[in-house]
A = this chain, B = another copy of it.
Amino acid sequence: MQRYEGLVEKRIFSLPSHTAVNGRTIKDVKIGWESYGQLNDARDNVILVPHHYSSNSHAAGRYKDSDPLPGYWDSIIGPGKPLDTDRFFVMSVDSLVNMNSKDGITVTTGPASIDADTGKPYGMQFPVVTIRDFVRVQKALIDSLGIQQIHACVGVSMGALQSYEWAAAYPELVKRVVAINGSPAQRPFALCNLDKWVAPIRLDPNWKQGDYYGGSEPIEGLTQAFCNVLIDAWHPQAIAATYQHQWAVAENNPLHSQENDFLVNQSFRAVGLARATCTTDANNMLYMTRANQLFIAGTPGSSVDAELKNIRADVLVIQAWSDLLFPIADARMQVEKLLANGTRAEFRELDSAAGHIGGVTEVAKEGEAIRRFLNS
């Protein structure tokens, strides 16, 4: 097999059916996945990189040399990089209900998929799924590859949530967790804050209770939903540093008309519109959001402390001080709880002023700490 040198391809994993945590069955599950590096003969050099909320399994590399940007964590995944593809078999899997189902690359099963029983998209008839469902589907893929040990799960944001879930669900399999800007449980505030993000989708008349397939999509609602995500994922000071009080158009003072806007809003809307138009299915975003709201808290009979007690893996927690979605004080407390449970755990502060998103854009600042931990 060839050494990984930056070119990747999406592969597809199929499952005849998956029974969700809530008991409902999803038939004909298909998800995409990517890998960087080679699986060794012992099949014990696997690093799993679950992705964050708005992302997919494109963690590193390019599909073709002309791609303008590589995967989101290319700074730490590759030959000689902290997640060293000369040594590790790094893999990433598209989640169920992945919101990027329109991008032509992501492979997922969710509300936008065709229900074989009706020949039409599921829409809001799709079963509610959880992050544990994401992990169970990944586990089926891992099993199909004959992998019985995971050297590490490494993820940012919802990728960190999935990494904790992996370690709690399959403690015998997972040897290490690197959780960046995440948490082993969604805090109660997130229930309303995540609802706030996607509420504009439901307000868009084109959403039609999720029954928009074949017609106009709720693009305006989706656009605003992405604006909401951006506003919360950036630190307020990072937004200020980038946009100050600038107007969208220099001669159009917002003092003179409600139509004249500020640059920050115009910019965020442009990003949101691009995502809404080219990549994102609205119903999938609603389902992805619910999965995040339910994380641990919504799983009957579970509790954060019980989940943490299940974990046998060594844990490296890396947390940006500027992250307002997963506060650093909470992350420190998680490490204390893990240590109290007898788990080996380490805390490191990510020196990023960017906010939550710093775990994606500035992760390389902790690259050497991640390398050391993976080699320990």
A contacts, CB < 8 Å to B: 21-22, 124, 128, 130, 187-189, 191-193, 195-196, 199-200, 203-205, 220-221, 224, 227-228, 231, 236-237, 239-240, 243-245, 253-258, 261-262, 264-265, 268, 286-287, 290, 293-294, 297-300, 324, 327
| Given A192-B227, A204-B203, A256-B22, A240-B293 contact (CB < 8 Å) | no
Task: Give Cα A15–Cα B195 distance, bound, in whole angstroms.
Answer: 44
Are A21 and B255 in touch, CB under 8 angstroms?
yes
Contacts of A193 in B (CB 8 A): 231, 236
- Closest B residue to A261 by beta carbon equals B195
Are B236 and A187 in touch, CB under 8 angstroms?
yes
Chain A facing B: main interface SS: helix
- Closest B residue to A20 by beta carbon equals B255
Contacts of A293 in B (CB 8 A): 254, 262
Task: Give Cα A261–Cα B192 distance, bound, in whole angstroms.
Answer: 10
The count of identical subunits is 2
Are A258 and B128 in touch, CB under 8 angstroms?
yes
| Given A203-B221, A256-B22, A192-B231 contact (CB < 8 Å) | yes
Q: List 12 A-B contacts (CB under 8 A).
A: A128-B258, A188-B243, A192-B231, A192-B243, A193-B236, A195-B261, A200-B203, A203-B203, A205-B205, A245-B297, A254-B293, A254-B294
Task: Give Cα A245–Cα B244 distance, bound, in whole angstroms.
Answer: 37
Contacts of A268 in B (CB 8 A): 192
Contact check: which of B124, B188, B196, B299 meets A255 at CB < 8 Å?
B299
Contact check: which of B227, B239, B253, B254 meets A189 at CB < 8 Å?
B239
Task: Give Cα A123–Cα B199 distance, bound, in whole angstroms.
Answer: 25
